[in-house]
Amino acid sequence: MAEGRYGWIRAEARKALTLSGATGPHEIDAIRIAKALDVDIVDGGLVGATERITMIGGRARIRVCDQIVLKGRRCFTIAHAIGHKACGHLIEADGDVNRWIDAACSGRTKQDEREADVFSTEVLAPAAWVRPYCDVRRVDLDAVHTIVRDFPVSPVMAAMRFVELSTQACAVVYSEQGSVRWARGSRSFPRLVAREMCIPATSIAREWFGTSVIDTHVRAGLARSWFPDCARVEDRAEIFEHAMLIPEPGWGGVLSLLWIPQIAPRAERIRAAKKIASPI
């Protein structure tokens, strides 16, 4: 799907935010955004799904699972459902109560799901408002915790947004039982951390699986231990890992934020390239 479609969805998210009256991070409220778009929210009565959006008469209604404990995850669930409406996806008419038991988004295409996620990410953590939080000299979870403090997002979403918008060479890695479940890298990170990859024995995340003790300090190691055969990583380049446990039910793994300071931030590299390219 062309970036143009995602650009339009992000613009719709910003419009919805303005309609809800939000003028800064602390005023972002999923319920107010729903109200601004004429969407009703109902809690509970949902099994096997986090949310379901249906039409009753001419009005959309989102039913939200009441088992969701983290505020950030609840907000994301509501914003994701609003995203389906904002993106013009098909919304079924409200039917028999037993139909709530069906998994909410199981019938939707991956593209529809991706679009609803793009909407919810931009509406809860708009790039223009999050970017200043990513402008740090040292990459660690402090910036992620600050985003969680100021925006209605979970630690996982805050970390993903941080690496998406950061110019530094950093990545977020979620691991369980000593192997990578998923990872996202910033645009200047040398390579994607492979799924199912065994995490290094010297990492905080690996230590947790052996000892059930999480080291909350930033730990330095060799980048080579994560990327043994990557040509863009020098043998002596350091990597910094800062990790936290994810307490969400159904998760229970470790989130590691990785940073390779030796690789210059993207903006600096672009400036340096321009300098070389420009005639004297």
Rule CB under 5 A: say whether 105 interacts with Zn ion: yes
Compute the least distance from the CB of residue 116 to Zn ion, in Å. Answer: 5
C-beta of 118 vs 180, nearer to Zn ion: 118
Q: For the stretch 70-105, what's the b/e string if a residue is b when 16 or more beta carbons lie within 10 angstroms of its beta carbon?
A: bebbbbbbbbbbbbbbbbebebeebeeeeebeeebb
Spatial contact of 162 and 129, defined as CB atoms under 8 Å apart: no
Question: Taking the alpha carbons of 218, 224, 228, 234 in that order, is the dihedral positive or negative?
Answer: positive
Compute the least distance from the CB of residue 184 to Zn ion, in Å. Answer: 20
Q: Which stretch binds Zn ion (CB under 5 A): 29-37, 116-124, 127-135, 209-217?
A: 116-124
Cα gap 175→152, rounded to integer Å: 24
φ, ψ of residue 51 to 5 degrees: the values are -155, 160
Q: Which stretch binds Zn ion (CB under 5 A): 16-24, 104-112, 209-217, 270-278?
A: 104-112
Spatial contact of 79 and 120, defined as CB atoms under 8 Å apart: yes
C-beta of 102 vs 113, nearer to Zn ion: 113
C-beta of 83 vs 185, nearer to Zn ion: 83
Compute the least distance from the CB of residue 253 to Zn ion, in Å. Answer: 23
C-beta of 91 vs 218, nearer to Zn ion: 91
Q: What is the contact mask toward Zn ion in residues 123 to 142, using x (rule: CB under 5 A)?
A: --------------------
Cα gap 264→262, rounded to integer Å: 6
Instruction: Provide the residue type at 197 as one letter.
Output: M
Rule CB under 5 A: say whether 171 interacts with Zn ion: no
Interaction site with Zn ion (CB under 5 A): 105, 113, 116
